[in-house]
Chains A and B, each alone.
Chain A
Amino acid sequence: MTANSVFQIIIYFAVIVILAKPLGLYMARVYENQPARMGRFLGPLERLFYKLCGINPEEEMGWKQYALSVIVFSAVGVLAVYLIQRIQGALFFNPQKFPAATPDLSFNTAVSFVTNTNWQNYGGENTLAYFTQMAALTVQNFVSAATGMAVLVALIRGFKRNSATTIGNFWADLTRGVIYILMPLSVILALALVPMGVIQSMGKYKTVKLIQAFTYDNPELDAHGNTVLDAKGSTVTEKAQMAEQTIPMGPVASQEAVKMLGTNGGGFFNVNSAHPFENPTPLSNLLETLAILLIPSALCLTFGEMANDRRQGWALLVAMLVVLVPLTFLCAHLEQGGNPHFASAGINQAASSLQSGGNMEGKETRFGITDSAIWATWTTAASNGSVNSMHDSFTPLGGLIPMLLIQLGEVIFGGVGSGLYGMIIFAIITVFVAGLMVGRTPEYLGKKIEMYEMKMAAFVVLIVNALIKIGTAIAVSTKAGLAGISNPGPHGFSEVLYAFSSFADNNGSAFAGLNGNTPFYNVMGGIIMFLGRFWVIIPVLAIAGSLAKKKHVPAGLGTLPTHTPLFVVFLIGVIIIVGALTFMPALALGPVADYLMH
C-alpha cells in the first residue's frame, strides 16, 4: 500500500466521523418532531402533505398497525414501479421511445427499488424512459430509504417508551424522513455534483462523431440471428467501421444524490458510478463515497440521542468502524498487491510515478485502486450496492472482502435504518449471551430481553441466512440457474453466492459476471429481496412493540454496561461468528478455493 492510499482512507473515515454527530443529533430532533430551524422552512410543506393525504401525524400506532402500514405502502410501491415500467412506452419523457420492460425484469426492478436493494438487472440507459427513472426509481430511492429509517425509529421508541402500546406513526415518520432529511441532503449533494459534470438533461441521446473512426470484426448472423460458423467451427466475421457513438443523457444528478445518500445504489446507467456522467471526477467520487456512509453512521448517534444515552450510539458506531476500517485497508492492500499470475509472469505491478500498479482491471483510471477499494468496501458494508469499479475483476481475496461485508448481514453500517436495526438485533443477541454471563436476565437500554425478543431476533438471523443459502443451492442445482454463470470453477460459484447474498441482505451490489437478466434470476431475486426486507422488518417491529410494553429497568452495578470496549468486542465476536462463520463452508468453495488454486 502506498502512503497516499493510507492517507486517503484516513481522510475518508475522518470526515464521516466528524459529520456523524451533528447530522445524527439533527435527525433525532426530526423524529422527535422538533426540527427547529428546518421546521420553519419545511414545516408548512410537511403540514400541507398531511392535509392532502388526510394523515393525522399525532395518531399513534401499535406495532402491528405500523407493520401493516409499511407493507401496504411498499406493496403499492411495487405495483406502481411495475406498472410504470410496463406502460412506459405510452408515457411521456421517453425521447428514446423505449418499449415496456419485460414482465420478469419489471418485477425484479420494482421489488429491488422498493426494498432499497437496487439490484440492477436493467441497464438504465438501454431500457428505461426518463419518466420511469424519475417517477418510479427516484421516488422509491427516497421513500424506501425513509421506510428503513422509520422502522429504525420505531424500534428506538420501543426502547425509549415505558409501558406503552404504541411505537409512533409510520406516515409521519416516513414524511419527516423524506422532507427533513433525505430531500435537503439530496438537494445539497446534487447541486454540488452538477458543476463537476454530473448531467441533468431531459433531451435525446447525443450522437457524436468519433475523433478517430475504427474498424472491427463484426460476427456474421444468419436469418435466425445466430452466428455463422465456418468449417472449422470458428465464427465468420466481416469488417465493419465505427465512426459514431451514441451518448446516453438523462436527469442524472437528481437521482444520483439520493442514490448515494439513501443507500440505494441503483444507477442511472448500467455501469453505475463508474460512468463519467454519474461520477466524473475524484472530487465527485469523494462526495459520493461519503454520501454512502453519511446517514448510516449518523443514525447510530440518532439512536444514542433518542435513547437518552449517547454512549450507546457511539458504541455501535465504533463497533462498525472497528470492522470496516481494517477491511478497507485490507481490500486496498490486496488490490494494490496485484494479480498473482502477473507476478509469476515477471510483470512489474509496483506503484510508481508512471503507473498505478496493482490490479487495475475493472477499475476507472480517474479513481485508481484506493478510491475503488474504499467504494467497494463501503458500498457493501452499507447496503448501497452502487459501484465505481467492477468487483468481479478484483483479486480473489480482494473480492472476498465486499462479499464478506454483505454476508455479515448488512449490519456494519448497512442500509439507512435497516443496517442499524439489524445491528441492534445483533446487539440484542449479544446482550443476551453476555448478560447471562454476568448472572442476570439480560437487559439492553433498560429493557429486559426475554423469550419473545429472542424468538424474533433468532428469526431475523435465520431468515437472511436461509434465503442466501437456499437461493444459492437452487441456482447451482438447476439448469436455469447454471445458465447465468459465466465463469468456470469456484469463481462462478462466488458470482452466484454473491448475488444471493446481495438479494437477501438488500444490498444490490453485483459481482458482475453473472447474467442476472433471465426470468429465473429476475423472479427468484425479486422474491428473495422481498422476503429479505419484510421478513426482517416485521420481527423488528414486533420487538419494538414488545419492548415498548415493558417497564424500564434502571441500570445498576450488576447491569451489564453496553457502551464499553468489552461489549463492543463481544458484539463484533457475535457478528463474526453468526455472520461470517456460517458462510465459511460456502466461502471455502468460492473465493477461498479461487484464491488458493491460482
Chain B
Amino acid sequence: MSILSVKNLEKRFGDNVILKNVSADIEKGEVISIIGPSGTGKSTFLRAMNFLDPPTDGEVFFDGRLITKKNVDAVRRRMGMVFQNFGLFSHMNVMDNLSAGPVKLLGVSKSEAEEKSAELLRTVGLYERARFMPRQLSGGQKQRVAIARCLAMSPEVILFDEPTSALDPTMVSEVMAVMRNLAKSGMTMLVVTHEMDFARDVSSRVFYMDEGGIYEQGNPEIIFNNPQRQKTQAFIYNIRSYNYEVESRDFDYAEMLSGVENFCFRHAIGKRDANRLQLITEELIINIVTPQYGACSLAVHFSEKQETCNISVSYKGESGNALDGAADDLSVSMVKNSAKEIRHQYADGINTLTAVL
C-alpha cells in the first residue's frame, strides 16, 4: 500500500485554480523531486498534502487513512515538513527546537527527548551548536536544524518546500549533503527544488509540474535526458540557457555580463571556455550588433552531451549579417577567432547570429 496517495486533488484560491485533478501514489522509501516553472503550484501541492492549505476538492490518504481537518494534527506528527525560510522557533535554542515536539506532543520525557535530539544534531553536524539561539546560526545551519527538528518526531515522510532557495549559494551544499544522507537512509521524501543536480542524481522519480498538475513524471534519466512532452522539453532546455533582452544602446551591460559569468559557474564550464564565451558575448552585443541595430536579445545555451555552447543574438531589421556591417574590425576578428563556427539566419524580419563554441 502506498504511504501517501493523492486522488483528484484540486486547489483554488477564489476563482484562481492552481491545481486540478492531481493524482499520485508515493511508495515508502521513494525520493520524489518536484520541478517545474515558478507559479505552477509545486509548493501548493506540497502544502495541500499536509493540509497547511487544505485542498478545495479531492482526497489525500496517509498510510491508507483519509486525511481530514480533524485528524490532520495526528497525521502531521508522522509527516514532517521543511520550509524555505526554516521556521525555527526563534525564542528557543537549538536543543529546545528539537525537543519541543516530542515533549509536548508525543509525551516523551525531556531527558529522553534531549538524548535523541543530541544524536540527531550529531548526524547533521550541529551538536556543537545545541545551546545556540537560531539567530546565531547561518542559513545553512538553520536549515539543517530544521531538518533535524523534523526527524525528532520520527516521521515516515518528509516534505521539503524549496529547502535551499533562501540560502546563499555557498550554503546550499551543506544542506544538500544532509538531504542526500537522508535519502540514502531510506526516508520517504518529496522535494520541491530548483537544484537539478539533486533531482537528477538522488531522486527515484521526478514530477514535472505544469498546467495545474503533474505534467510529466518518470525516472530522472527520462525527464532530464529524454523528456517526452513539449513543455518538459522546453523547461529542461531552458534550465541550460541564459537569456537577456537588450532594450536599447544604453542597456545595463554589467548585469548581462555577470549573468553570463554566473551561467558559466553554474554549469561548471571550464575557465578557458568561459573566457571565450564572455568575450564573444561582449564583442558581439556591445561592439557589433547594438551600434547598428539597437535592441536585440541574447540566448546562451549549453549542451552537456555534446559539450558545446551556442551564443545566439537576434535583432530586427532587413536581412543582413551584422558582422559584415560592423565598423570595428578588431571586434569582428576577435569573435571570428574565438568561435568554432558562426551562422547567420533570417526569418520573419528577424536576423539571428549564432556562434558555436
Instruction: Verify that A and B bind, or say they do not.
Output: no
- Chain A positions within 8 Å of B, measured between CB atoms, are none
- Chain B positions within 8 Å of A, measured between CB atoms, are none
